[in-house]
């Protein structure tokens, strides 16, 4: 298979043992990395097509049944894919988005392909799709890691139980993979390819979204717009105006000093590698604190969902956390709330209500408030299993960056994942506890409530 000198061979994995055959094109099945630049899978596919003297066809399968996806997720995603279509065309590449289950579309288009290249997904369904395709193709299927800086198996061969054990392992490999990706010239124009599959037009996104049979309880949001260009604007803003304040103010939801890149990383609209390199290039001492989150913590989440088959359930938590929470299941609760009451932010706690409303209105909750939010759901429900289920449901329904490894781990952390036992207490046992006094010590919690109330008023206009 083609060797691309600046794409590390450890990023590339053959999913079957088929040989190159006769065909009309090389297929790049773009499903996780929704971008036309800084995309290892795309550049590898271009290099492979060039070497085989064939055009490259790029495909995205649009399923209306992606688990827990809502209108806001589809709108954000399609904004990004519309931009991908424009920029791939400028490179001479045909991009077809089709309203078809992704794995079935990849198999259909793969029948005419010499080889199929795809990007990587870590979740159960994403891995199942790729296995389905690889087993049904008569040509090679190659998966290229494009959304992790260090491929997960390279960093560690097993599930790591804390950042303390994970950090030295990933840092040991960083220099090997912290290399900028150079774009490869496209040698064979693919715009004339007839892919023989029905395209899904993106000229009018409002009409396109309206035509989909999708869940619409969580409507689209106006606080975030999808696409690589939007992600790059946010990155520039972060570097120029927020990075220096990040170490001191990242846990203050009234300070607005976060990068807000997580939705773009979720959909692969920006490369974590390019983000890391740009932040490192500043030479700022604050960069290390941000890179801890972007690389160490984010890729620890990839490690968890890759090695733990129960990543989306209470069962996946550490044994000590499950044991201590079960020992305190019968502890009396001062408050008990139903899913409906929680979803509608009708609790006695103004800080929790504000966090829930921030997520519903904007599509993203501040990271520090998300920890408090999850801890309180544990405190206000009958069992830890019920609490876990409710927290994950709300997170995945409303967060633009939910339904991914960071989202699953963000919820599970509230129940003890990647943490250590703490002094035992009511309901929580040895799982870390958070309360409103702790919020007020960190920042002006009442100012946060006022901020969200203003957002709520503006959202109703």
- Give yes or no for residue 439 having a pLDDT over 70: yes
Is the pTM higher than 0.95?
Answer: yes
Predicted local confidence at residue 4, as pLDDT: 52
Task: Provide the 10 A C-beta neighbour count for residue 253.
Answer: 29
Please give the sequence-ordered ranges of beta strands (E in DSSP) within 51-210, or none if there are none: 56-61, 94-98, 113-118, 141-144
Name all domains of the chain by residue range, CATH numbers in brackets: 1-146 (3.40.50.620), 148-180+228-307 (1.25.40.80), 309-460 (1.10.579.10)
Whose tokens are 């904007």? That residue is 362
Predicted local confidence at residue 1, as pLDDT: 52
Buried b (16+ CB within 10 A) or exposed e, 11-25: bbeebbeeebeebbb
* Average pLDDT score over residue span 181-186: 94
* CA distance linking residue 231 with residue 83, whole number of Å: 12
User: Which residues, in sequence order, are CB contacts of 287 under 8 Å at separation 6+?
Assistant: 243, 279, 280
Predicted local confidence at residue 3, as pLDDT: 56
State the chain's mean pLDDT as an integer.
96
- Strand pairing category for 113-118 and 25-29: parallel
- Give yes or no for residue 301 having a pLDDT over 70: yes
- Give yes or no for residue 179 having a pLDDT over 60: yes
Which strand ranges, in their side-by-side order, compose the sheet holding 12-14?
Answer: 12-14, 141-144, 113-118, 25-29, 56-61, 94-98
Q: Tell me the pLDDT band of 459, cut-offs 50, 70 and 90.
A: confident
* Average pLDDT score over residue span 292-320: 98
What is the chain's length? 461
Provide the terminal-to-terminal Cα distance of the chain, rounded to the nearest Å. Answer: 57
* Average pLDDT score over residue span 192-217: 96
Predicted local confidence at residue 7, as pLDDT: 84
- Give yes or no for residue 269 having a pLDDT over 90: yes
* CA distance linking residue 219 with residue 212, whole number of Å: 13
């Amino acid at each position: 298979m083609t060797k691309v000198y600046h794409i590390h061979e450890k990023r590339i994995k053959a999913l079957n043992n088929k040989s190159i055959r006769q065909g009309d094109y090389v297929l790049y099945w773009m499903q996780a990395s929704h971008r036309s630049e800084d995309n290892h899978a795309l550049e590898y596919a271009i290099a492979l097509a060039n070497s085989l003297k064939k055009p490259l066809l790029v495909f995205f399968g649009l399923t209306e049944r992606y688990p827990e996806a809502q209108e806001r997720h589809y709108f954000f995603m399609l904004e990004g894919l519309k931009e991908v279509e424009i920029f791939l065309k400028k490179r001479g590449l045909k991009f077809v988005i089709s309203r078809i289950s992704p794995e079935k579309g990849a198999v259909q288009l793969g029948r005419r392909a010499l080889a199929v290249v795809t990007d990587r997904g870590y979740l159960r369904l994403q891995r199942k799709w790729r296995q389905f395709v690889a087993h049904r193709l008569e040509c090679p299927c190659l998966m290229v890691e494009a959304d992790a800086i260090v491929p997960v198996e390279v960093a560690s061969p097993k599930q790591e139980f804390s950042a303390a054990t994970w950090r030295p392992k990933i840092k040991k490999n960083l220099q090997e993979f912290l290399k900028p990706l150079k774009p490869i010239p496209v040698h064979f124009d693919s715009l004339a390819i007839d892919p023989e599959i029905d395209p899904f037009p993106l000229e009018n996104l409002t009409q396109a979204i309206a035509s989909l049979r999708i869940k619409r309880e969580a409507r689209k949001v106006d606080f975030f717009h999808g696409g690589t260009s939007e992600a790059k604007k946010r990155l520039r803003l972060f570097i120029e105006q927020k990075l220096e304040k990040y170490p001191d103010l990242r846990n203050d939801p009234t300070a607005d000093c976060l990068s807000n890149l997580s939705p773009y990383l979720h959909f692969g609209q920006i490369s974590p590698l390019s983000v890391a390199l740009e932040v490192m290039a500043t030479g700022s001492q604050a960069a290390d604190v941000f890179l801890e989150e972007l690389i160490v913590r984010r890729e620890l989440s990839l490690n968890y969902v890759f090695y733990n088959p129960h990543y989306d359930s209470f069962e996946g938590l550490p044994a000590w956390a499950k044991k201590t929470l079960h020992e305190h299941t019968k502890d009396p609760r001062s408050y008990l709330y139903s899913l409906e009451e929680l979803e509608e932010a009708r609790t006695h706690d103004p800080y929790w209500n504000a966090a829930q409303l921030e997520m519903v209105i904007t599509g993203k909750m501040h990271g520090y408030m998300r920890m408090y939010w999850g801890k309180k759901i544990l405190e206000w429900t009958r069992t830890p299993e019920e609490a876990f289920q409710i927290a994950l449901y709300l997170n995945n329904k409303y967060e633009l960056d939910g339904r991914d490894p960071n989202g699953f781990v963000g919820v599970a952390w509230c129940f003890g994942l990647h943490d250590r036992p703490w002094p035992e207490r009511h309901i929580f046992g040895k799982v870390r506890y958070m309360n409103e006094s702790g919020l007020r010590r960190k920042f002006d919690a009442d100012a946060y409530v006022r901020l969200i109330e203003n957002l709520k008023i503006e959202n109703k206009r």
